[in-house]
């Protein structure tokens, strides 16, 4: 899957821009604040239905404008498949797929699957368990058809149970428990299977990107590993009522990473953490590619500048070898040697305007 056309109106400092990207590598060069990250943000909007830079949609609309639009056409094996559109007007978000309004952002994600590598990507290593759960669940959403329904069911029941716990309504509570346990066990198994496949891929990328022997991965379910969930859940009911929320379950799951028995966040340097996060994202893309028999898009925002030249080029080689469409931003062309890649386009951006400098292999 690839974007064959991208049109942007009034997104941050981009007043109007139309880009026809390469189906493989697109390098966007520009100074800080020029609009290169805004281009990635527009693609992210099409694929995720939200910004990766701001939780408030009004903030990404160009100053003194009331409406933002992003339009894109997707391409699969040389044939147009879908048109995607995003409109943000006076704070209201609307999406269209093939000309029809769509309320579910999951539909956008299924039609334009994409991953983001950004300067704060090390949060995948040192950030909260919630960030790692989201990372795992994005992968599952794309490779396991039954996952979304189970995930939605579990979270819906969890919210209802927590409301009853706050009311200390133990009688009605029991009617929800069996459903929650069933959904929790299925969700946990999905995650265990996915993490196993992910780790196999990640170890290979880690060995290439990091000068350490191995990172140990352990999936933490969200309850004591020595207990079955049903037992741990039932034995904790009184404590849940007292606390006012469900203390154990897949909503507390985490992916633990250790080096020599210590937390990877404590042992690895900042640069190593970024490379470890890149390895995980590369692994996720590889699992996606194998399961779906197609490639997801990968967006890389200014990360190369934070690495030494050897690791910068190695990362680019690994990204290109995935076989999918890449959008990479950098402040200087000297940071990324693209002469070794046969299919690419080089864009320069200045004050929100984009120009194509060179096109090869297209």
Residue 300 sits at the vertex; the CA angle it makes with 295 and 302, to the nearest 5 degrees, is 170
pTM above 0.85, yes or no: yes
> What's the token pair of residue 116?
């983001």
pLDDT of res. 336: 86
Q: How many of the other CB atoms lie within 10 Å of CB of 269?
A: 9
> What's the chain's average pLDDT?
92
To the nearest whole percent, how much of the chain has pLDDT over 90? 77
* Cβ count near 25 (within 10 Å): 24
Q: What is the pLDDT of residue 235?
A: 87
Q: What is the pLDDT of residues 48-94, one digit of tens each?
A: 999 999 887 778 999 889 999 999 999 877 666 899 999 999 888 99
Q: pLDDT confidence of 280, banded at 50, 70, 90?
A: very high
Instruction: From residue 289, give the alpha-carbon distance in Å to each of 25, 285, 323.
Output: 17, 6, 9
CB 1 within 8 A of CB 323: no
**92, burial (CB in 10 Å: exposed 0-12, middle 13-18, buried 19+):** exposed
pLDDT digits 0-9 by tens, 298-339: 999 987 667 888 999 999 999 999 999 999 999 999 888 899
CATH superfamily of this structure's domain 119-295: RecF/RecN/SMC, N-terminal domain (1.20.1050.90)
Question: For residues 157 and 162, what is the distance between their CA atoms, to the nearest angstrom?
Answer: 9
What was the pLDDT predicted at 78? Answer: 65
What are the tens digits of pLDDT across the range 188-203?
999 999 999 999 999 9
* pLDDT the model gives residue 90: 85
């Amino acid at each position: 899957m690839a974007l064959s056309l991208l049109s942007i109106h009034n997104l941050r400092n981009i007043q109007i821009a139309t880009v026809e990207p390469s189906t493989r590598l697109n390098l966007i060069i520009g100074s800080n604040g020029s609009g290169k990250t805004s281009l990635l943000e527009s693609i992210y909007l099409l694929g995720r239905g939200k910004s990766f830079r701001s939780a408030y949609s009004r903030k990404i609309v160009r100053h003194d404008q009331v409406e933002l639009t992003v339009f894109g056409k997707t391409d699969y094996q040389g044939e147009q498949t879908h048109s995607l559109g995003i409109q943000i007007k006076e704070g209201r978000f609307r999406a269209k797929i093939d000309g029809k309004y769509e309320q579910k952002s999951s539909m956008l994600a299924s039609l334009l699957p994409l991953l983001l590598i950004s300067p704060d990507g090390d949060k995948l290593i040192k950030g909260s368990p919630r960030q790692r759960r989201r990372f795992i669940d994005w992968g599952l959403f794309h490779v396991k058809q039954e996952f979304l329904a189970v995930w939605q069911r579990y979270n819906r029941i969890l919210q209802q149970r927590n409301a009853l716990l706050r009311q200390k309504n133990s009688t009605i509570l029991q009617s929800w428990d069996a459903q929650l346990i069933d959904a929790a066990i299925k969700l946990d198994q999905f995650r265990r299977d996915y993490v196993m496949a992910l780790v196999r891929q990640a170890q290979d990328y880690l060995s290439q990107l990091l000068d350490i022997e191995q990172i140990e991965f352990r999936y933490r379910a969200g309850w004591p590993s020595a207990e079955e969930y049903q037992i741990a859940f039932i034995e904790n009911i009184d404590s849940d009522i007292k606390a006012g929320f469900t203390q154990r379950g897949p909503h507390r799951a985490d992916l633990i990473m250790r080096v020599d028995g210590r937390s990877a966040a404590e042992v690895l340097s900042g640069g190593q953490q970024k490379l470890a996060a890149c390895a995980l994202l590369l692994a996720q893309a590889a699992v996606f590619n194998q399961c779906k028999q197609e490639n997801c898009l990968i967006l890389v925002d200014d990360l190369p500048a934070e690495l030494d030249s050897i690791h910068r080029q190695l990362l680019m080689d690994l990204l290109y070898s995935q076989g999918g469409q890449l959008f990479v931003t950098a402040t200087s062309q000297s940071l990324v040697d693209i002469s070794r890649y046969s299919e690419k386009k080089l864009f320069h951006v200045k004050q929100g305007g984009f120009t194509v400098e060179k096109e090869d292999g297209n």
